[in-house]
Structures are given as structure tokens and as C-alpha cells.
Structure 1
């Protein structure tokens, strides 16, 4: 497994952790107004439709569906296919006690500014999920059947200091320009974008942000993460423990690969410098060792390898040296 594959598996594990019903319930309870007066346990067990939770898979084929028919991608003719990190359906108690359906999309974003603001992308994702609910548009289309969509973005990478520890909610609002009309928000407030901003070094006071920071941290060990989650009031079950363990293992693997890659790049540059001295400037190993203040035995080994593997690149020689632990 190379580093890119390792990163992909790490990201996938992170998405699966975020898709845990308990984690989702914490987010909804704290930041989604529709659940302000709901009990946390009710959100997790009653309102979140756990069987609809979709987590993006590496290499998911277009058109794949779960048993509820919710796609984790929205394909529109003439437009690129959008894959969601996490997508699921929920119910929430509306006016007069009736249950109202809603879709939620959760995105884990490590790059806070990928060349454009996150807000428009969040609006686009929400709009695609909204339009995907209508399979056919004609004179009989019931637009009143549309269910609200939340696009929730966890920005946990290179967030600037002045925006750390912030959460913003963007929604549709009604402003009467002439006169007054009465309309339930449920009719027109069909899209909201929620953006949370933090990183691994931010000192957070909000418990839900602390929970999310703990899950995504690459500075804490598995034991430290689990202990912190327990102290925050999380129920650390087998699923959470397994996910945290996998993330920590993958994080250690990626870090080790990055260190090795850095060492290899350094070794490659070193071989290039020595090749210049030995081959282009025709210096002897002894002269090169004295010039660069390096052990003669080390220079002689590289000189022998350059001669033995004539035509090999600096990288290939560097890899052989690394394998020999030189």
C-alpha cells in the first residue's frame, strides 16, 4: 500500500466514524435548529434513519443505491457527478407535532480554501440534493413534496487563526417588502449550509467541536482519544473504538511513509551531489570525502554503486542505499 492509498483509507475511515449515528446526533442536537428541543437519544434512535446512511466508497459506480433508494451521488445530465462523503435521511418534529423529512449531507474538508470559498460549494451540494428529489418535471410536479436539505461542512485543516473555533449557518429567509404575509418556514426554508471551522491545534470550549476535533486529531493516541471522548460524555462502543483504532493506525502508517519519503528525497539529492563530484568533476572518493566532510567508506560505497549500476537514476541508487540502511 502506497501513501496515496493509505490516505484514501484514512479518509474513508474518518467518514465512517462521522457517519456513526451517535456522532451525527451530537452534531444535529448542537447545531441544527430543528433539533434544539429534542433529546439526544431521540435524535439518535428515533429521528436519524440509520438504514439510509450512505458513506462514499472508493470506486463507487454511478447509480449505486442502498435499500432505501438514496444514492450517494447525484447525477444530472450534462453536469459532473457529485459524490457525497456522508448522506442520510432524518425526521424531525414540525409544527402541530407532525414528522417532517429532511436530507443531510456531511462533508469532511481538510483544505479550507481550495481556490474558492467553501460556502458556494455547500450551496451547490445542497441544491443538487434538493433537485434530485424530483425525478420528473412536468405540469403535475408537486414541488410541495420537496424536503429540506442541510449540507454540513467540517473544515478541520488549514483554517486561518481569525476563523478558528467558529460555526456559521446559512439559510433561506423571508423578508416582506410590501405588507405582511404568514408562511411557515417549512414551506420556503428548503436549504441550509452549516460550516464548522477548527484545526488540531485550536483550543475549543464547545463540547461537540471538541468531540469532532478529538476524532480527527493526528496528535492523540488511541487511548488518549477514547479517554477524552468518554470525558466529553460520548458512549464509547465497539464501533467507535474500532474506528478510532483504525484511524490511529492509518495515521501512524501515513506519518511513517511521509518520513521515509522525506528521507528518500534527501538521500536522492545527496546521491545527485556525489554523482556530480565523482563523475562530472572526476574527483576521487577520497577527494570528495574531504571536500564534503563525509566518511570515505560511505563515499566509496556510493562510488561503487554508481559504477556497478551504471545508468541507474539518483532515486534508484538512493532506494538501494535505504534498503541497505546506509
Structure 2
């Protein structure tokens, strides 16, 4: 069963948007860095507004759980890629929903209040439905999934507050560099307000990114810098340290470097180069260069992803035959795949 699952995941990944999947994976790992999460919570979660970044980091329990693949619900006969109550909620009508990043925090103090937090990285701002509706659903699922873990029976007062925070890229100009927060609030229509009601249970935040130089807000500036396509990883790490006093860990530095070379970034750089190399008035020649650049970017991204996947599978003792079956020969030849296999075996 495990080999069948691995085969299916890799086959799907190499055939459909492997470069985008790889890019998204690195972006989510960057956001899952505890220092980055602490920055996000400091400026968006009301309960952390008065705390320092180091104090907020200390409130994050364990390691944030990061979604990998599959993006779509897995078939019923294939086990999910990620297991555990912290990263997924099963809905029998819609398969499995995976959160990009899921973790919980413990607020300091005598009561040690617990909160569940979800962070989503969203590149498509107009997927055909309102993102706010989706965020409400995600938050509601975080509430309902607490039954049996945070409370049982009718102990609804034990429900823990949840936050769903959405980091949106490629947004319209009129909403760039903005932060919106949605909360449950009491509105007294008749009579006096009730102060002992347990209604503040859901917080939803949308962070709309723009260009690094267009925002003076600390959080927007830092996040715009992280995901800027104008700076290389070395310059990003330098500016993170100088402007925001963030010393990048080894893992965060690696993710920044990997993200630079994958997916949409590769295509965008080649698209810009095509425009610079070909005169704008020569439309036909420019389109040909763009086509070639797109094909080359897709081939390079697919090949790099296949090499990475093959190496990881060999390290996990998956047989050569199974890996060969999963990765098309036109992406990696037998000679190339054997070379990867031999290098892994030599290191074992």
C-alpha cells in the first residue's frame, strides 16, 4: 500500500504543475519558521500585540505542521500524505482538507489559554469564489474538529479560539499592502451588553502583499521582502538582519534559496529576459522567445523535481523498479536514474 501511494503521488506531481508544487512547498516552509510566524502573530493576533517576538516564539507549542502533497483530496484507497489532528480534518463529503500551516499556542499567564492557528499562503487571489468564504470554512472546521480532543459531549465552553491567517500574493493594486481582520463581536440591539459571554472564538486575517518599497508597515515590509522576486537570497538575508533584526536560520536560508530557483520565479525571470532581448515592436519574434523560455523553464523545473524525488525515495529504500515506474523516461533516462541510485547507495 505504501509503495502504491508513493507511486501515485510522484506520478501526479511530475505530470501536473510539479514546478508550482515545489515553489509552494518552499514558500510554506518559509512561513512556518517560528520567527516569521511570531512576526505575523504580533501584528495580526490581538492577544499577542503587546508581546515581543521572542515571547511569542516561546508560546508556539512544538513544530508547526506544514502541508506537502497531495493538494487535491487523495483517493479513498490511498492513505493521506500527512496524518495527525494538527494538519487535517476529514470531511466524508469532500475528502480531506489540508491546511498549509497548522499549530497551536499557549498564552502565558495563570490560565495558560490555548489557541489554534492556521496560516495559508494564497497565490491565486481570484480562484472563482470569495477567499473570505473559504477562510470562514477553514476556521469553522478548526472549531468543529475540537470535539473529541479539546472537549467532549456538551462541554462547549471548552472550545479554544481559532485564527485563520491568509497571506495573499498577486492581489489587485487597490488592496496591496493592506491587512484586514474579521472577528465575532457582540451587537446589543435591545437591553444591556452581556460581558460574560464566550463568543470571541474566531479570528480571520487577510494580509495583502505588494512591493517591498511600497509599504512602511513592519510586517508588510518584512513579508514583501521575503517573497520579492527582485532580490537574491543573500540580499534578502542581509536586509532581514539589518531592517528587521531577523537572523535567518540555516533551514530558512535554504528554503529562500530553493524558492528562488523554482516554479513561477523561473518562468517570470525568463519572461522578463525575453522582453529585454527582443524589441517590443517585433511581436512575432518576442512571442517565439517567450514560448521557448516557457518550455525550457518547465523542462528544467520538472527535471529538478524528478531528481529530488528520486533521491528521497532511494534514501527511504524504495526500489529502483518502483521509482523507474513513477518517473517518465523522457524526464530522467535510465543512465541518469542509475547515477542517482548509485550515489545514494554509496552514501548509505
TM-score by length of 1: 0.71
| 1:12 pairs with 2:30 | no
Alpha-carbon distance between aligned partners in 1 of 2:108 and 2:152, rounded to the nearest angstrom: 31
Which residue is 1:54 aligned to? 65
Whether the aligned pair in 1 keeps the contact of 2:125 and 2:169 (CA below 8 Å) is yes
Q: 1:54 to 1:262 in 2, by over 3 A?
A: farther
Matches within 5 A, 1:130-209: 130-135=143-148, 140-157=153-170, 159-184=171-196, 187-200=198-211, 203-209=214-220
Whether the aligned pair in 2 keeps the contact of 1:164 and 1:202 (CA below 8 Å) is no
Whether the aligned pair in 1 keeps the contact of 2:237 and 2:247 (CA below 8 Å) is no
| 1:73 pairs with 2:88 | yes
Which residue is 2:124 aligned to? 111
Deviation at 1:88, TM superposition (A): 0.6
Which of 86, 89, 110 pairs up with 2:101?
A: 86
| 1:226 pairs with 2:244 | no
Q: 1:2 to 1:78 in 2, by over 3 A?
A: closer
Alpha-carbon distance between aligned partners in 1 of 2:291 and 2:228, rounded to the nearest angstrom: 27
SS of 1:81's partner is strand
Which of 36, 54, 58 pairs up with 2:49?
A: 36
Paired residue total:
257
Whether the aligned pair in 2 keeps the contact of 1:165 and 1:197 (CA below 8 Å) is yes
Whether the aligned pair in 2 keeps the contact of 1:165 and 1:202 (CA below 8 Å) is no
| Residues 272-297 of structure 1: CA deviation (Å, up to 9, x unaligned) | xxxxxxxxxxxxxxxxxxxxxxxxxx
| Residues 228-255 of structure 1: CA deviation (Å, up to 9, x unaligned) | 2112221222122112111112256445
Alpha-carbon distance between aligned partners in 1 of 2:44 and 2:269, rounded to the nearest angstrom: 37
Q: 1:72 to 1:140 in 2, by over 3 A?
A: closer
Radius of gyration: which is bigger? 1
TM-score by length of 2: 0.67
Q: 1:142 to 1:63 in 2, by over 3 A?
A: farther
Question: Which moves more between the two structures, 3-12 or 31-40?
Answer: 3-12
Q: 1:117 to 1:202 in 2, by over 3 A?
A: farther
| Residues 208-231 of structure 1: CA deviation (Å, up to 9, x unaligned) | 111111111222111221122112
Q: 1:264 to 1:235 in 2, by over 3 A?
A: closer
Deviation at 1:263, TM superposition (A): 3.6
Whether the aligned pair in 2 keeps the contact of 1:90 and 1:101 (CA below 8 Å) is yes
Deviation at 1:146, TM superposition (A): 1.0
Whether the aligned pair in 2 keeps the contact of 1:107 and 1:153 (CA below 8 Å) is yes
Of structures 1 and 2, the one scoring higher in RCO (CA 8 A, sep 6+) is 2
Whether the aligned pair in 1 keeps the contact of 2:212 and 2:225 (CA below 8 Å) is no
Which residue is 1:316 aligned to? none
Whether the aligned pair in 2 keeps the contact of 1:89 and 1:102 (CA below 8 Å) is yes
The runs of 5 or more residues in structure 2 that have no matched partner are 1-13, 275-286, 294-348
| Residues 77-115 of structure 1: CA deviation (Å, up to 9, x unaligned) | 223422111111111247xx4211111111111111222
SS of 2:28's partner is helix
SS of 1:7's partner is helix
